[in-house]
Amino acid sequence: MTAFGQRYGQQCPPDLVEIGQGIVERCANVPLAIRVVGSLLYDQGREKWLWFQKAELGRLKDGGSNAIGPILKLSYYHLDPPLKTCFGHCALFCKDDVIEKETLIRLWMAQDYILPQEGQSVRTSSSKQNVVDQMEELKALSNLKGSLDIVIGENGQYAKENVEEGGYIRNKGHLNRVRIWFPTEMGADEQRLLLEDLQPHCNVRELRLVNYGGMRMPSWAKEDDLSTFLPNLVKLQLCRCPGWQHLPSLRNLHNLKSLEVRSLRDLEYIENTSRRGIIGNGVGASESRALFPFLQQLTLMYLDKLRGWWRDDDDVIDCDINQGQQHLLTSFPSLSLLTLSRCPNFTCVVTCPNVEELELEGKLGEKSRIMIPVESGNSKLRIVWSTHAGTLKSIWPTEAFQCVQEMRIDGDEEMESLSEVEEVFCSCSSLRHLYIISWKKLKTVGGGLEHLTALETLRLDSLPNLMNLSKAGEGEEEDEVDDEMPWRCLHQRLQSLTLRGLPKLVNLPKGMGCLRALQSLSIFECKALESLPESMRELTSLRSLTIKRCSDGLMERCRENTGKDWPNIQHIYDIRIIEDDDEW
């Protein structure tokens, strides 16, 4: 039983022995299959073993030697998401290939699948290694094409006195992507010298620098302008470059389609100049507005000190942009995806008329505005994800929300009622999917949901202070208000409702009977909920009801044939009342 977590010298409970023997039989006594299943059940309880034997192994068509494939597939489904990503990356190799461990680790690092934790490193070694020899070998690969990833080990050092010429990839005109990872242990000057000798060919279309500690770009970026040597750059990623307070000039990279700036802790401005200065130097208004005419994806993440795009952004925001100052705004006419994550001091007005997806994590500066002009009554914005509901007010005008189809607000720590952003929900006339997750203070859903007449999917998840699902406000009892609101407004379209992690929810609203289109209702971890309303009988379209990890009282009332609430739900085709801790 050691494969199932039973350690040597310990007595295995007889009931587990019996279950384990049944599982081994289903595995056809194949050692690999037994070890895989054993790893899944390691240190699990009897209920988990029984569930696995009946639910999972029961799905296998036979228990013969052909079961090993489905069992391995099953083990993949139970992996954590990061491990699934690493495992899936192995599909790049051909069948029966021998994969060296170090090679695989470097590939995972190159894709950012595995990252060192603070104070730790992915690999350790006792001695420094000079990377000059490896760089010289790289120079000899004259026919190198496609993509080149250079990962300098954490113990690597670059002894300039040993360098004969440098220019390791300067003449490789067939490369279209270069990505370089520097070790944090290597000194900033040493990194700059190495990057000096890793000058890419001007044909390179994608460049990524990670952990570069130099205070500035090397000399091949003339006048700190990347366009002077990389005019064809389409994608640029700069991650964890701690010494930069501003980026090398990007404004002349007119072919740029994707820009990602991540974890530059001292970065204050994207461009180290003023917008007015550019215009004053002879750039026309129309040309200055669209500095990145083809930029489709912009990602700014974990930039605590970032204040704006230009040094004069504060002045531009304070001016009256409706009186001849629109040309001072930063415009991205082709942008489809905008991600702003943890940039609390970012104070800028950006115009992106064609943006389709917004990802906003944390607060922005008070004066920040994301302007989405609505032409011909239509906006192209379709998906919005945010961790702070108040940030949605920075999107202007509110009519930009009128075509949004999916919205996820995850992690708000301040809002107590949806009414605080009611002006946003009033404009969400096309919203089909809404996910409200981990709002610490939310008490009521009134003032928001009743405006979402096109809503098909609603998930209320991890809301520790939500006490009722009616339009009742603070100090009001549910009986004192229209108990059919806001649900009456959702009756035509709402098909799926999930209530999860609502520990203070005592009753489902009587108005739920209005949801005549509802097909699926899931209730998880609502410990204070003791009963289901009689209005459940009116949900004639409801096909699936799942109740899990709720109160014993609710479980008892929903028991088949004998429970007091059974008459309210007996018309539902698929009813699952799950009392244990198994995964759903």
Three-state SS letters, 425-445? HCCCCCCCEEEEECCCCCCEC
- The predicted-structure confidence for 324-342, as pLDDT tens digits, reads as follows 444 446 788 999 999 999 9
Q: Which residues of 225-258 are buried (b: 16+ CB within 10 A; e: fewer)?
A: bbbebbeebbbbbbbbbbbbebbbbbbebebbbb
pLDDT in tens, 173-213: 889 999 999 888 888 888 888 888 888 998 999 999 999 98
Nearest to 426 by CA among 442, 447, 407, 440: 447
pLDDT score for 120: 43
Q: Which amino acid is at 337?
A: L
Q: What is the mean pLDDT of residues 474-502?
A: 75
Out of 132-141, 217-226, 277-286, 517-526, the most confident range is 517-526
- Residue 520's CB is within 10 A of a number of other CB atoms, namely 16
Straight-line distance from the first to the last Cα atom of the chain, in angstroms, rounded to the nearest whole number? 27
pLDDT at 286 (0 to 100): 45
- Angle 109-215-312 (CA atoms, 0-180°, nearest 5)? 110
β-bridge pairing 349-351 and 369-371? parallel
* Three-class SS state of 298: strand
Return the higher-pLDDT residue of 335 and 62.
335
pTM, entire model: 0.73
Q: Any idea which residue has 């204050």 for tokens?
A: 268
Model confidence at 45: pLDDT above 90 = no
The single-letter code of the amino acid at 343 is C
pLDDT reported for residue 442: 93
Lowest model confidence (mean pLDDT) among 19-28, 60-69, 392-401: 60-69
Cβ atoms of residues 392 and 421 within 8 Å = yes
**Confidence (pLDDT) at 282:** 45
Contact present, 319 and 328 (Cβ < 8 Å): yes
Residue 116 has a pLDDT of 56
Percent share of the chain, pLDDT over 90: 32
Decide if pLDDT at 269 tops 80.
Answer: yes
Residue 134 or 266, more confident: 266
pLDDT (mean) for 212-237: 85
Residue 124: predicted pLDDT: 36
Q: What was the pLDDT predicted at 326?
A: 47
Beta strands (DSSP E) in 348-420 are 349-351, 357-361, 369-371, 383-386, 395-396, 406-410
Collapse the DSSP code of 524 into the 3-class scheme (helix H, G, I; strand E, B; otherwise coil) and give the result.
strand
SS (H, E, C) 145-209: CEEEEEECCCCEECCHHHCCCCCCCCCCCCEEEEEEECCCCCCHHHHHHHHHCCCCCCCCCEEEE
Tell me the pLDDT tens digit for each residue of 75-99: 666 666 666 677 776 766 666 666 7
Q: What is the DSSP letter of 52?
A: I
**Other CB atoms within 10 A of residue 427 CB:** 20
The top-scoring range by mean pLDDT among 30-44, 286-300, 320-334 is: 286-300
Residues 471-497: what's their mean pLDDT?
69
Q: How confident is the model at residue 198, as a pLDDT?
A: 87
Q: What is the mean pLDDT of the segment spanning 62-80? A: 59
What average pLDDT does range 11-33 have in this prediction?
A: 70
Rounded to an integer, what distance in angstroms lies between the CA atom of residue 203 and that of residue 581? 56
Predicted local distance difference test score (pLDDT) of residue 542? 95
Question: pLDDT value at position 570?
Answer: 94
Residue 447: its pLDDT value, please? 80
pLDDT, the chain, mean: 79
In this predicted model, what pLDDT tens digit does every residue of 357-391 receive, in sequence order? 999 998 887 778 888 877 666 789 999 999 988 88
Note whether 429 and 456 are within 8 A (CB).
Answer: no
